[in-house]
Amino acid sequence: MYQVFLFSQAFESTMEEWMPFAWKLRDEFVTATWETIYMVLITALIGGLIGLVLGIVMTVTGPGGILESKGLYRVLDNLVNIFRSIPFIILLALLVNVTRFIVGTTIGPTAATVPIIFSVVPFFARQVEIALLEVDPGVVEAAQAMGATPTDIIFPVYLREGLPALLRVSASTVISVIGLTAMAGSVAGGGLGTIAIARGYQRSRMDVILVATVLILLVVLVSQLIFNWLIRRTDHK
């Protein structure tokens, strides 16, 4: 126990010497990390669900789809392209009133999730469409020949056969979301981005920026490891 105490004292002394500002903010770093995880999870649940549904609709109504509808597909395709082309920092400003209407404020992690979701939905929808189009057309045609309904094709065929590809695009989307949470910190969105900018960059405290960067990278790494495990478990190849 005494050796543990000595190690703890030595560690604290080293951190106070090499990273004085970051060490004083250690409790805030813990809170900010959880805020970042919270924003990622909320966006993944809400934005992921909406993006998945939108991607499925675009797949089945697109050219050669099982419910082909040129008019509907053209509208959805153009909307996705338009929202994907808007830079996130501009989207933050455009959706200020929408964010205030939905959550009652424009500051904090909950408020930040609103523009992040708006940014992620079209991106993920397009990724879902691309992933589902990789499903072997022969499997879809075989299901149609057996009299399967569109619902029977969407769930047992598209989603089941395309699950590994969906997980891959989900992984890249989640990593993009983590980056967006950091950008949201520029407008007091909370999380590690706010600490890196408000407590680090604006006060020229490089140790704060460094620690925030390392923590964001750890969140990315853990997310990627989880998705890699899920992909290995579901890949039929």
Stretch 207-229: mean pLDDT, rounded?
Answer: 93
Query: Which domains occur in the chain, in start order?
Result: 21-234 (1.10.3720.10)
Supply the DSSP symbol for 201.
G
CA dihedral 107, 108, 109, 111 (to 10 degrees): -30
Residue 24 has pLDDT above 90, yes or no: no
Tokens representing 139 are: 């499997």
pLDDT digits (tens, 9 = 90+) for 183-206: 888 777 888 988 988 888 888 888
Which tops the pLDDT comparison, 207 or 236?
A: 207
Q: What is the pLDDT of residue 77?
A: 93
pTM comes to 0.88
Confidence of residue 32 (pLDDT cuts 50, 70, 90): very high
pLDDT digits (tens, 9 = 90+) for 80-138: 999 889 999 899 889 999 999 999 888 889 999 999 999 999 999 999 999 998 888 88
Q: By CB neighbour count within 10 A (0-12 exposed, 13-18 middle, 19+ buried), where does 165 fall?
A: buried
pLDDT for 157 = 85
Say yes or no to pLDDT of 222 above 90.
yes
Q: How far apart are the first and last CA of the chain?
A: 51
Tens digits of per-residue pLDDT, 138-170?
A: 888 888 888 778 888 888 888 888 888 999 999
Element (H, E) at 172: helix 163-184
SS3 state at 134 = coil
**Rounded Cα gap, residues 38 and 109, in angstroms:** 8
